[in-house]
Structure 1
Amino acid sequence: TGGIVGALTQAGISKEDASRYAEGVRRGGTLVSARVPDQDRARLDALLNERAVNLQDRSAAWQKSGWSDFDAASPPLSPEDIGRERELYGAGTRR
Protein backbone atom coordinates (compact mmCIF):
# COMPACT_ATOMS: atom_id res chain seq x y z
CA THR A 1 0.00 0.00 0.00
CA GLY A 2 1.31 3.42 -0.89
CA GLY A 3 0.16 6.91 -0.15
CA ILE A 4 -0.63 8.19 3.30
CA VAL A 5 -1.86 4.84 4.65
CA GLY A 6 1.31 3.10 3.46
CA ALA A 7 3.55 5.77 4.95
CA LEU A 8 1.78 5.59 8.29
CA THR A 9 1.82 1.80 8.49
CA GLN A 10 5.52 1.77 7.58
CA ALA A 11 6.03 4.16 10.50
CA GLY A 12 4.40 1.65 12.85
CA ILE A 13 0.80 2.90 12.91
CA SER A 14 -1.85 0.16 12.73
CA LYS A 15 -3.74 -0.17 9.43
CA GLU A 16 -6.99 0.71 11.23
CA ASP A 17 -5.58 3.91 12.73
CA ALA A 18 -3.78 4.81 9.49
CA SER A 19 -7.12 4.55 7.67
CA ARG A 20 -8.73 6.86 10.22
CA TYR A 21 -5.93 9.42 9.95
CA ALA A 22 -6.08 9.33 6.15
CA GLU A 23 -9.85 9.83 6.19
CA GLY A 24 -9.42 12.76 8.56
CA VAL A 25 -7.00 14.39 6.10
CA ARG A 26 -9.39 13.68 3.20
CA ARG A 27 -12.09 15.46 5.19
CA GLY A 28 -9.95 18.57 5.60
CA GLY A 29 -8.00 17.76 8.74
CA THR A 30 -4.31 18.18 9.36
CA LEU A 31 -2.06 15.35 10.44
CA VAL A 32 1.03 16.20 12.47
CA SER A 33 3.67 13.58 13.17
CA ALA A 34 6.88 14.23 15.05
CA ARG A 35 9.68 12.34 16.72
CA VAL A 36 10.96 14.34 19.63
CA PRO A 37 13.31 13.63 22.51
CA ASP A 38 11.61 12.59 25.75
CA GLN A 39 12.60 15.84 27.44
CA ASP A 40 10.54 17.80 24.87
CA ARG A 41 7.42 15.63 25.14
CA ALA A 42 5.48 18.06 27.36
CA ARG A 43 6.07 20.90 24.89
CA LEU A 44 4.92 18.73 22.00
CA ASP A 45 1.79 17.62 23.88
CA ALA A 46 0.90 21.24 24.66
CA LEU A 47 1.18 22.15 20.99
CA LEU A 48 -0.76 19.15 19.67
CA ASN A 49 -3.55 19.42 22.23
CA GLU A 50 -4.41 22.98 21.24
CA ARG A 51 -7.11 21.91 18.76
CA ALA A 52 -6.92 18.14 18.78
CA VAL A 53 -9.66 15.87 17.48
CA ASN A 54 -10.47 12.59 19.21
CA LEU A 55 -10.13 10.38 16.18
CA GLN A 56 -11.83 7.40 17.85
CA ASP A 57 -14.97 9.46 18.48
CA ARG A 58 -14.85 11.18 15.10
CA SER A 59 -14.43 7.96 13.13
CA ALA A 60 -17.26 6.36 15.12
CA ALA A 61 -19.50 9.22 13.95
CA TRP A 62 -18.34 8.68 10.36
CA GLN A 63 -19.18 4.99 10.67
CA LYS A 64 -22.71 5.83 11.83
CA SER A 65 -23.13 7.78 8.59
CA GLY A 66 -21.90 4.87 6.45
CA TRP A 67 -18.11 5.25 6.30
CA SER A 68 -16.13 2.03 6.73
CA ASP A 69 -12.57 2.53 5.48
CA PHE A 70 -10.37 5.09 3.74
CA ASP A 71 -10.60 4.92 -0.04
CA ALA A 72 -7.69 6.61 -1.81
CA ALA A 73 -9.89 6.98 -4.90
CA SER A 74 -12.39 9.16 -3.03
CA PRO A 75 -11.92 12.84 -3.76
CA PRO A 76 -11.13 15.28 -0.96
CA LEU A 77 -14.10 17.15 0.44
CA SER A 78 -14.90 20.51 -1.11
CA PRO A 79 -14.39 23.63 1.01
CA GLU A 80 -18.17 23.76 1.49
CA ASP A 81 -18.30 20.14 2.66
CA ILE A 82 -15.37 20.76 5.02
CA GLY A 83 -17.28 23.70 6.47
CA ARG A 84 -20.35 21.54 7.02
CA GLU A 85 -18.22 18.80 8.58
CA ARG A 86 -16.69 21.29 11.01
CA GLU A 87 -20.10 22.70 11.90
CA LEU A 88 -21.38 19.19 12.55
CA TYR A 89 -18.42 17.88 14.55
CA GLY A 90 -16.47 20.98 15.53
CA ALA A 91 -12.99 21.92 14.39
CA GLY A 92 -11.26 20.35 17.36
CA THR A 93 -11.33 21.14 21.03
CA ARG A 94 -8.97 22.61 23.52
CA ARG A 95 -7.97 20.06 26.10
Structure 2
Amino acid sequence: MKKKAILQSLLLATGSFVGGMTLGLLLTPTNGRQNRMWISEHAAELAEWAEDRRRNAEHKGQLKLRHIRRNVHEGLSHHIPDLYEATEDLDIKR
Protein backbone atom coordinates (compact mmCIF):
# COMPACT_ATOMS: atom_id res chain seq x y z
CA MET A 1 0.00 0.00 0.00
CA LYS A 2 2.85 2.38 0.82
CA LYS A 3 4.53 1.76 -2.56
CA LYS A 4 1.30 2.66 -4.35
CA ALA A 5 1.07 5.97 -2.46
CA ILE A 6 4.70 6.78 -3.26
CA LEU A 7 4.15 6.00 -6.94
CA GLN A 8 1.02 8.16 -7.04
CA SER A 9 2.87 11.04 -5.38
CA LEU A 10 5.75 10.69 -7.84
CA LEU A 11 3.38 10.65 -10.83
CA LEU A 12 1.50 13.67 -9.48
CA ALA A 13 4.74 15.61 -8.94
CA THR A 14 6.05 14.70 -12.40
CA GLY A 15 2.75 15.60 -14.06
CA SER A 16 2.61 18.90 -12.19
CA PHE A 17 6.17 19.75 -13.19
CA VAL A 18 5.59 18.97 -16.87
CA GLY A 19 2.28 20.84 -16.84
CA GLY A 20 3.86 23.86 -15.18
CA MET A 21 6.74 23.93 -17.66
CA THR A 22 4.33 23.65 -20.60
CA LEU A 23 2.09 26.41 -19.28
CA GLY A 24 5.10 28.59 -18.53
CA LEU A 25 6.45 28.19 -22.04
CA LEU A 26 3.06 28.95 -23.58
CA LEU A 27 2.66 32.13 -21.55
CA THR A 28 6.17 33.56 -21.99
CA PRO A 29 6.51 36.79 -23.93
CA THR A 30 9.26 35.30 -26.12
CA ASN A 31 8.62 33.42 -29.34
CA GLY A 32 8.95 29.66 -29.86
CA ARG A 33 12.40 29.85 -31.42
CA GLN A 34 13.83 31.74 -28.44
CA ASN A 35 12.17 29.28 -26.06
CA ARG A 36 13.67 26.32 -27.91
CA MET A 37 17.12 27.93 -27.81
CA TRP A 38 16.76 28.59 -24.08
CA ILE A 39 15.67 24.99 -23.44
CA SER A 40 18.52 23.67 -25.59
CA GLU A 41 21.13 25.74 -23.74
CA HIS A 42 19.86 24.78 -20.32
CA ALA A 43 19.45 21.13 -21.28
CA ALA A 44 23.12 21.08 -22.29
CA GLU A 45 24.07 22.64 -18.94
CA LEU A 46 21.93 20.10 -17.11
CA ALA A 47 23.51 17.22 -19.05
CA GLU A 48 26.98 18.53 -18.23
CA TRP A 49 26.07 18.88 -14.55
CA ALA A 50 24.63 15.34 -14.46
CA GLU A 51 27.72 13.92 -16.19
CA ASP A 52 29.97 15.70 -13.69
CA ARG A 53 27.96 14.24 -10.79
CA ARG A 54 28.10 10.78 -12.37
CA ARG A 55 31.89 10.95 -12.75
CA ASN A 56 32.25 12.18 -9.17
CA ALA A 57 30.05 9.36 -7.83
CA GLU A 58 31.96 6.80 -9.91
CA HIS A 59 35.30 8.07 -8.58
CA LYS A 60 34.07 8.00 -4.98
CA GLY A 61 32.69 4.49 -5.52
CA GLN A 62 36.01 3.26 -6.90
CA LEU A 63 37.89 4.75 -3.95
CA LYS A 64 35.48 3.14 -1.50
CA LEU A 65 35.76 -0.22 -3.30
CA ARG A 66 39.58 -0.06 -3.17
CA HIS A 67 39.41 0.74 0.53
CA ILE A 68 37.08 -2.22 1.18
CA ARG A 69 39.26 -4.57 -0.87
CA ARG A 70 42.38 -3.47 1.01
CA ASN A 71 40.67 -3.96 4.37
CA VAL A 72 39.42 -7.42 3.38
CA HIS A 73 42.84 -8.44 2.08
CA GLU A 74 44.61 -7.17 5.19
CA GLY A 75 42.04 -8.83 7.44
CA LEU A 76 42.35 -12.16 5.67
CA SER A 77 46.14 -12.10 5.53
CA HIS A 78 46.31 -11.14 9.20
CA HIS A 79 43.96 -13.88 10.43
CA ILE A 80 44.64 -16.69 7.96
CA PRO A 81 48.21 -17.97 7.77
CA ASP A 82 49.96 -18.53 4.48
CA LEU A 83 49.82 -22.29 3.97
CA TYR A 84 53.09 -22.41 2.05
CA GLU A 85 54.95 -20.70 4.87
CA ALA A 86 53.15 -22.75 7.53
CA THR A 87 54.02 -26.10 5.90
CA GLU A 88 57.49 -25.49 4.48
CA ASP A 89 59.25 -26.97 7.54
CA LEU A 90 57.17 -30.14 7.53
CA ASP A 91 59.04 -33.23 6.47
CA ILE A 92 56.53 -35.12 4.39
CA LYS A 93 57.85 -38.27 2.72
CA ARG A 94 55.95 -40.91 0.91
TM-score by length of 2: 0.26
Which of the pair has the greater relative contact order for Cα pairs under 8 Å at 6+ separation?
A: 1
The structure carrying a bigger helix percent of its residues is 2
- Larger CA Rg, structure 1 vs 2: 2
